[in-house]
């Protein structure tokens, strides 16, 4: 999921790609933000890039 955020996909695009509801995708992104202590999606993207 974090990699999809790093690709710049919106929640609806992530949901479409994973065949889940948009709200489910939103929840996953919010949990990723919380677990990593981040406040925005660009921080997730930077983290994913650093992990590669």
Confidence of residue 51 (pLDDT cuts 50, 70, 90): very high
Q: What is the pLDDT of residue 11?
A: 97
SS3 1: coil
Pairwise CA distance, residues 40 & 30, whole Å:
9
Tens of pLDDT, residues 16-32: 999 999 999 999 999 99
Pairwise CA distance, residues 17 & 9, whole Å:
10
Q: How many residues does the chain have?
A: 52
Mean pLDDT score of the chain: 97
Q: What percent of the chain has pLDDT over 70?
A: 100
Pairwise CA distance, residues 9 & 34, whole Å:
19
Within a 13 Å sphere around the CA of 22, how many CA atoms are in the beta-carbon half? 5
């Amino acid at each position: 999921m974090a990699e999809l955020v790093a690709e710049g996909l919106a929640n609806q695009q992530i949901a479409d790609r994973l065949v889940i509801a948009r709200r489910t995708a939103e929840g996953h992104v919010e949990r990723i933000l919380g677990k990593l202590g981040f406040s925005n999606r660009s921080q997730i993207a930077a983290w994913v890039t650093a992990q590669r």
